Structure 1
Amino acid sequence: MFSLQDVITTTKTTLAAMPKGYLPKWLLFISIVSVFNSIQTYVSGLELTRKVYERKPTETTHLSARTFGTWTFISCVIRFYGAMYLNEPHIFELVFMSYMVALFHFGSELLIFRTCKLGKGFMGPLVVSTTSLVWMYKQREYYTGVAW
């Protein structure tokens, strides 16, 4: 069993191994938050997921919420790897593409399918995906040594 000291030591070692700068820490933070978002889709049901798709909440089912939670968890794993290995060009690109997929999904739900509206449930994913994309676009060469 892990002691508190083991957790602290492991956390310090992990953080020290991350690439320098704030972007990897941001990716780690988003990854951790995503774990909790994923869990809530399985545990608490539809309430929070329906806040994202609040223009047409009845289109959100238990199945779609769990699918969304699974998709969010996969994104969490990708972003965790990004936080740890952002200097690897293929990992950097994979993380970047995951944010592109997220932005496309939420953008299409807002503009095409009209299930979302610019409310507090939608703004989180929108801000995270656009901020991350812009930040990553500007920092690719710094982290990977490869320009766009």
Structure 2
Amino acid sequence: MSNILTQIQASLQRMPQGYLPKWLLFISIVSIFNSIQTYFSGLELTRKVYAGKPKETTFLSARTFGTWTFISCVIRLYGAFYLNEPHIYQLAFISYIVALVHFGSELLIFRTCSFNSGFMGPLIVSTTSLIWMYNQKEFYTGVPW
């Protein structure tokens, strides 16, 4: 167990400086648990996100959402550790654009989301991350937009 903790500590020390990589790591860890719950805890939490039309949320759509969330988590996890790489930075940034477009279309077009706690979390995380990453790209990658 101490070897695992040593490895984790060494990995955390190799992260790029600043709070943005730590934010991406935090969001990734939260997303892992969110992904897992879509497979095991039923529909309750996923239906909170899609509260506008909760009956349209099925076990299949919840698991698909969990898989999509996990893929996004992996991209953002790589971003946390390799934020200085322009292509990784852009990929992490794009993952938040995809999330914002998805949740925005579900709110405005398909009307499956409503302004509640289940929806506000993804909305706040995606917009905050996009603004933060947009403003910090040159600092981390050395390349302006």
Distance 1:46 1:105 in 2: 19
1:44 maps onto 2:41 in alignment? yes
Q: Does 1:29 align with 2:26?
A: yes
Question: How many pairs are equivalent?
Answer: 145
| 1: CA distance, partners of 2:13 / 2:31 | 22
Note the C-alpha offset of 1:7.
2.7
Between the aligned partners of 2:108 and 2:84, the Cα distance in structure 1 is 35
1:118 matches 2:115: yes
Instruction: Measure how far apart 1:10 and its partner are.
Output: 1.4
| TM norm structure 2 | 0.99
Query: Secondary structure of 2:125's partner?
Result: helix
Q: Which of 63, 66, 74 lines up with 2:63 in the alignment?
A: 66
Partner of 2:79: 82
SS at match of 2:51: coil
Moved over 6 A (4+): none
Is 1:140 the counterpart of 2:133 in the alignment? no
Q: TM-score, normalised by structure 1?
A: 0.97
Q: Unaligned regions of 5+ residues in structure 2, if any?
A: none
Three-state SS of the structure 1 residue aligned to 2:114 is coil
Question: Percent identity over the alignment?
Answer: 74
In structure 2, the residue matched to 1:91 is 88
Post-superposition CA distance 1:84-133 (Å, at most 9, x none): 00000000000000000000000000011111111000000000000000
Which amino acid is the alignment partner of residue 28 of structure 2?
S
Superposed CA RMSD: 0.6
2:109 equivalent to 1:109: no
CA distance in 2: counterparts of 1:118 and 1:6, whole angstroms: 45
Structure 1 portions without partners, runs of 5+ = none
Give the AA of the match of 1:84: F
- Which shifted more, 17-26 or 5-14? 5-14
Give the letter for the 1:55 counterpart: G
> CA-to-partner distance for each residue in 1:14-66, whole Å, 9 max, x for gaps?
11010000000000000000000000000001110000000100000000000
